[in-house]
């Protein structure tokens, strides 16, 4: 076994990026059903900055289970260092990636080692490096569970009905708002994989990137309003969400659906009148689905775009980058080996 301490990023109080502290902490012990992963890279995701800012209760949880200090982070790619006695399917030395313990704030991924539930992990695609693999789990599984297969029957905390993806094929048109971001660029590519026509909405600087990923039509939201230009789409995936999300309803044909990745502000009477469905899901850790996505990543069918990388000790700078916005793909923390 390695030495008994590791570098990790923790927060001892909530606040801005400056509360992220890199320090020495004990290496965790894998419990039943877990493996110890030596982390090569960790993805940066919105729940990390929500936790840092003071959100300590996941939607749907009755109360907070977070106690400070806490190590943020959910997305890792690395190498199996130790395996609990009851774990089959992974061996020491295997390269793995995963979304850990989501939905919860107990992923503890911003660290040199992490104890990970084996069921949350998949083998890292051989065709991509750890940085790209670490950018995939949360954003990729969010797109997968919204568009392809929820993979679970847990009710969403945001709605009563179970989320059902829309059938995607050559006869469907999908509008992706926020197409250059983490979830957006995966949603675009998964829709293209299924044969759909994709309208990508983002700021103009991202047009070459999104065309390269397969966007059939591009709309620069800084210059025009998608809801005035686009009509009769089958599905809107809005990765931006918020109160403005409902303006996209008028781009849909009757029978169409809008999937707000973040809860929006919708009027049930209006959606009923338009004959459309609004549905949301909450992403959950799922090693089996990640293995399916991993096959697409290995084949190059789906690519992970990396916005920027920062050393683990520079997590503060990574969060400052996230706060500036206009991100193209994923921000990833790297761990020196």
- Calculate mean pLDDT across residues 17-41: 98
Residues carrying CATH 3.40.50.720, the chain: 164-278
Query: CATH 3.90.180.10: which residues of the chain?
Result: 5-138+284-334
Entry pTM: 0.97
- Choose the CATH number for 164-278 among 3.40.50.720, 3.30.70.360, 3.50.50.60, 2.30.30.100: 3.40.50.720
pLDDT at 3: 67
Cα radius of gyration (the chain): 20
- The pLDDT of residue 262 is 87
**Superfamily per CATH, domain 5-138+284-334:** Medium-chain alcohol dehydrogenases, catalytic domain (3.90.180.10)
Share of the chain above pLDDT 90, in %: 92
pLDDT band at 74 (very low <50, low <70, confident <90, very high): very high
Q: Tokens at residue 205, please?
A: 């600087």
Does pLDDT of 2 surpass 60?
no
Instruction: Mention every residue, 6+ apart, whose C-beta is less than 8 A from residue 237.
Output: 143, 146, 147, 174, 175, 176, 177, 183, 184, 187, 191, 259, 261
Position 1 scores a pLDDT of 53
Q: Look at residue 90 and tell me whether its pLDDT is greater than 80.
A: yes
DSSP one-letter code for 119: G
- H/E element, 8: strand 5-11
- Label residue 156 by pLDDT band (50, 70, 90): confident
Give residue-wise pLDDT tens across range 183-211. 999 999 999 999 999 999 999 999 999 99
Beta carbons of 158 and 282 less than 8 angstroms apart = yes
> Is pLDDT at 316 greater than 60 in this prediction?
yes
Containing 247, the helix (H) or strand (E) segment is none
**What whole-number percentage of the chain has pLDDT above 70?**
99
97: closest CA among 70, 124, 120, 64?
124
Range with the lowest mean pLDDT among 148-157, 299-308, 326-335? 148-157
Per-residue confidence (pLDDT) for residue 52, from 0 to 100: 98
For the ranges 32-41, 86-95, 150-159, 198-207, the lowest mean pLDDT is seen at 150-159
């Amino acid at each position: 076994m390695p030495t008994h301490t590791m570098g990790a990023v923790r927060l001892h109080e909530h606040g801005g990026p400056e509360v992220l502290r890199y320090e020495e902490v004990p290496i965790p012990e894998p419990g039943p059903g877990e493996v110890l992963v030596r982390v090569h890279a960790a993805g940066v995701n919105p729940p990390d900055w929500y936790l840092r800012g003071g959100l300590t209760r996941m939607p749907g949880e009755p109360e907070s289970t977070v106690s400070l200090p806490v190590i943020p982070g959910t997305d890792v790619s690395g190498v199996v260092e130790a395996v609990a006695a009851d774990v089959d399917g992974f061996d020491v030395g295997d390269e793995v990636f995963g979304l850990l313990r989501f939905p919860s704030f107990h992923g503890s991924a911003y660290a040199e080692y992490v104890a990970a539930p084996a069921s949350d992990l998949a083998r890292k695609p051989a065709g991509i490096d750890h940085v790209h693999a670490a950018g995939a789990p949360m954003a990729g599984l969010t797109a997968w569970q919204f568009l392809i297969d929820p993979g679970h029957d847990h009710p969403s905390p945001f709605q009563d009905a179970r989320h059902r993806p829309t059938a995607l094929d050559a006869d469907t048109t999908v509008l992706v708002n926020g197409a250059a971001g983490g979830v957006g660029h995966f949603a675009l590519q998964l829709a293209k994989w299924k044969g759909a026509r994709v309208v990508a909405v983002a700021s103009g600087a991202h047009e070459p990137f999104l065309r390269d990923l397969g966007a059939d039509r591009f709309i620069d939201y800084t210059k025009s309003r998608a809801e005035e230009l686009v009509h009769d789409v089958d599905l809107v995936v809005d990765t931006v969400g918020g109160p403005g999300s409902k303006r996209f309803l008028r781009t849909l044909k009757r029978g169409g659906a809008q999937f707000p990745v973040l809860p929006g502000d919708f009027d049930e009477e209006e959606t009923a009148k338009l004959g459309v469905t609004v549905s949301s899901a909450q992403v959950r850790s799922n090693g089996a689905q990640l293995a399916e996505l991993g096959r697409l990543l290995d084949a190059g069918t789906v690519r992970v775009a990396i916005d920027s990388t920062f050393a683990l000790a520079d997590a503060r700078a990574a969060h400052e980058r996230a706060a500036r916005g206009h991100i193209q793909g994923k921000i990833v923390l790297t761990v020196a080996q």
